[in-house]
Structure 1
Amino acid sequence: MAYFTRRSALKIVAAGGAAIASGRAWAQDKTGRVIYPVAVPVYQTQFVADRLGYFKEAGLDCKLIQGGSGVKTREIIASAQGDIGIGDITHPMQLSNRGRNGRVLMPVDTRSSSVMFIIRRDLWDQGITTLEKLTEWKRPDGRKPIVSVSSLGGTNHVWSSYYMETMGLDQKVTWIGTGNVDTMLGSLKTKQVDVLVSSLSLLNDSKEQGWGTLLFDGTDETIWNKYIGGKVPVTAHFTLQATIDKDPAKMQAFVTAIWRATQWIKTHSPDEIHDTIEPYVGSTSRAANILEITALQKVTDYDASIDAAAFARGEKVWFREMTGIKPLTPAGLVSPSFIEAARKAYPA
């Protein structure tokens, strides 16, 4: 198993230090493919890096490609059709479990921003106002309630199923994946599903259209701390070890551009962030996106680090029967050298 070590990262920094200081790239004229699941602000670091030219300044002719879901994003990375993906941290774990040696390059957040249970408005009006009441209700054909997530095994599913499992309710609903923003909202509008688990932007749009309302907010800090216990790396930028080995300088350029985007987000307003990423999040309204961006600023990991305590908190969610993921250690999953080098080049 090959590793990109701290020493080799520092060699790259030393070799490229003068170029970085002058604003020139580490990786000159390289093509890149960055994959994101769906068109929502939670993936804004990649959007910002593209729109502000950070990829270009790093010497990357970079294309951002929508995967369609977290699982599809993982598949694209696994097939080496993409260089870096963004999604639930369980995706690189799944890659490693399947012999592909997934690697986390940097975490995105400290808790999930997309575990909002959005119930059909007509069901809420009937008095179904808690998760417990939802699971006691039956569809007209006698079947269990249908809960929609973007993809089975993706972020929404992993974390929402953990909440339901902890409450003893996970087997009392049927889980399905419904894909991108338009299809997720469409399934709620047409009553094909009873609950949609997603982010604040979709909640806001569904409320404005009269299709849905909030049933349970798994993103709320008090609720999160009650069930999860504190900071956890939920979303991450990830790749394959083979991709790192093929061109570590190119990988460093990616991480440095995304690190710069993270720091830019920290110092700019939700309106400024939205105006920057708007071409990527046009499926939902400006008002909905700004609400979500505001919430994201509270959970973003601006240090982009994963400590042992945070990893340990996540283990009870990641390594359970529902995910089927065999336990991994931080050393076996995380490649911190790139973000360490990026911090040295562009101190926060």
Structure 2
Amino acid sequence: MGFRKLIALAAMALALGAAVPGAGAQTVEKKDLKLAVGGKPLLYYLPLTLAERLGYFKEAGLNVEISDFGGGAKSLQALIGGSADIVTGAYDHTIQMQAKGQPIVAVTQLGRYPGIVLAAVKRAGEIKSIKELKGKKIGVTAPGSSTNFMVNYLLAREGMKPEDVSFIGVGGGPSAIAAIKRGEIDAIANLDPVISQAEADGDIAVIADTRTEKGTLDVYGGPYPAAVLYATPAFIEANPKTTQALVDVFVKTMLWLNKASTEDVLKVLPEEYFLGNKTLYAQAFEHSKPTYSPDGRFTQEGAEAALKVLKAFDPAVAAASIDLSRTYTNRYVEDSLKRLAK
């Protein structure tokens, strides 16, 4: 084959590549990614489902396989065990894992308020205060998840320990509602749409609510980072372009969500997310909308609030010297915002 023919074939290949949607995938180091999440239908993780269904991952040239686990602790285990590349999970885990000498880094913030609600199950009897939870069974998405941490902190504020109650993993969907209905738990720490469904059914009485700024301040004393996208430092170092592409996707999603109407959001979501009641889901979304980050940025104030909370009940964190600057970075978010502003 002559030299000119080789050049012509190469040019044709380039032209074809440019014509293929998502051909930008050639610029990322790792196109095929495994993402773990603990409770994907929860409104806590709404930006992930929106990014997926709006087609933003594909637009960025990424093929993202999403594995949904029963709670954030299990998705973290998937990352540490090597079966996931990245996780949408609680920011708290970045601090806890640094204390264990296994650092992970948050690269985009999805939630600025946790959106977690602690409520008493009415059929279990009247429970109005944290102290009255002693000896009770509390349903959380999964032991070791952010729902568990919120209860731990509220117990610590009252001079109590996690061992003073029994934690039961109930997931974040119909299984949580079933646990309430069957009387398997005395209280629940969970998120929307589960909480709104249980409230509408008259099954729970709210004790603490972090779906609003005021509620978050009442519980934590300051802003509190919730869901984030995190990865290991090794992944980020080996895949800087892939990391940037992922952050671009989530920043674009946060900006879309900031402007979207309730109807816009409902049109994108799968029917099974509504738990059989689309109107109630719409109300749950409106309750939760203030919890989302407007742009994906982290704040030092939020990181410090999370550290204070974890120190209150986690001996490993309390004993460790935590460098918060290594738990998150705004580098990729700032780059995304600059380009999206053009």
Q: Which TM-score band (shorter chain)?
A: 0.7 to 0.9
Per the normalisation by structure 1, the TM-score is 0.82
Distance in 1, matches of 2:92 and 2:276, equals 26
* Higher-Rg member (1/2): 2
Structure 1 pair 199/95, CA: closer, same or farther in 2 (3 Å)? same
Distance in 2, matches of 1:170 and 1:109, equals 27
Alignment correspondent of 1:329: 323
CA deviation after TM superposition for structure 1 residue 57, in Å: 0.7
Match runs of 1:1-348 below 5 Å: 25=24, 27=27, 30-38=31-39, 39-114=41-116, 116-123=117-124, 126=125, 128-132=126-130, 134-135=132-133, 144-170=135-161, 172-278=164-270, 281-283=273-275, 285-322=277-314, 324-325=316-317, 326-347=320-341
CA deviation after TM superposition for structure 1 residue 283, in Å: 4.2
Distance in 2, matches of 1:156 and 1:284, equals 24
CA deviation after TM superposition for structure 1 residue 40, in Å: 0.9
List per-residue Cα deviations over 1:15-55 (Å, max 9, x = no partner): xxxx9xx9973646811222221121210111111111111
Structure 1 pair 132/88, CA: closer, same or farther in 2 (3 Å)? closer
Distance in 1, matches of 2:158 and 2:341, equals 43
**Residue 36 of structure 2 aligns to a residue in which SS?**
strand
Distance in 1, matches of 2:280 and 2:80, equals 33
Q: Output the amino acid matched with 2:132.
A: L
CA deviation after TM superposition for structure 1 residue 323, in Å: 6.3
Alignment correspondent of 2:12: none
**Residue 238 of structure 1 aligns to a residue in which SS?**
strand
**Residue 175 of structure 1 aligns to a residue in which SS?**
strand
List per-residue Cα deviations over 1:235-277 (Å, max 9, x = no partner): 2110111111222211111111111011100010122212212
Distance in 1, matches of 2:46 and 2:244, equals 19
CA deviation after TM superposition for structure 1 residue 149, in Å: 0.7
Structure 1 pair 173/98, CA: closer, same or farther in 2 (3 Å)? closer
Q: Output the amino acid matched with 1:338.
A: Y
Alignment correspondent of 2:15: none
Structure 1 pair 208/234, CA: closer, same or farther in 2 (3 Å)? closer
Distance in 2, matches of 1:316 and 1:94, equals 12
Q: Output the amino acid matched with 2:158.
A: M
Distance in 2, matches of 1:295 and 1:53, equals 26
On the 8 A contact 2:36/2:66 being kept in 1, the answer is: yes
Structure 1 pair 307/209, CA: closer, same or farther in 2 (3 Å)? closer
Structure 1 pair 157/132, CA: closer, same or farther in 2 (3 Å)? closer
On the 8 A contact 1:152/1:175 being kept in 2, the answer is: yes
In angstroms, what is the RMSD of aligned CA positions? 2.6
CA deviation after TM superposition for structure 1 residue 132, in Å: 4.8
On the 8 A contact 1:110/1:301 being kept in 2, the answer is: yes
Distance in 1, matches of 2:158 and 2:107, equals 33
Which range moves more in the overlay, 198-207 or 279-288? 279-288
On the 8 A contact 1:205/1:284 being kept in 2, the answer is: no
Distance in 2, matches of 1:271 and 1:327, equals 46
CA deviation after TM superposition for structure 1 residue 306, in Å: 2.2
CA deviation after TM superposition for structure 1 residue 308, in Å: 2.3
Structure 1 pair 35/284, CA: closer, same or farther in 2 (3 Å)? farther
Unaligned runs of 5+ in 1: 1-18, 137-143
Paired positions, count:
317
Q: Output the amino acid matched with 1:37.
A: G
**Residue 65 of structure 1 aligns to a residue in which SS?**
strand
Q: Output the amino acid matched with 1:322.
A: D
CA deviation after TM superposition for structure 1 residue 147, in Å: 1.0
Structure 1 pair 318/78, CA: closer, same or farther in 2 (3 Å)? same
List per-residue Cα deviations over 1:77-120 (Å, max 9, x = no partner): 11232222111112233333333320111112222101x12322
CA deviation after TM superposition for structure 1 residue 302, in Å: 1.3
Unaligned runs of 5+ in 2: 1-17
Structure 1 pair 210/321, CA: closer, same or farther in 2 (3 Å)? closer
On the 8 A contact 2:31/2:63 being kept in 1, the answer is: yes
Q: Output the amino acid matched with 1:230.
A: G
Distance in 2, matches of 1:206 and 1:223, equals 19
Q: Output the amino acid matched with 1:131.
A: S
Per the normalisation by structure 2, the TM-score is 0.83
Distance in 1, matches of 2:38 and 2:316, equals 21
Structure 1 pair 321/196, CA: closer, same or farther in 2 (3 Å)? closer
Structure 1 pair 309/117, CA: closer, same or farther in 2 (3 Å)? closer
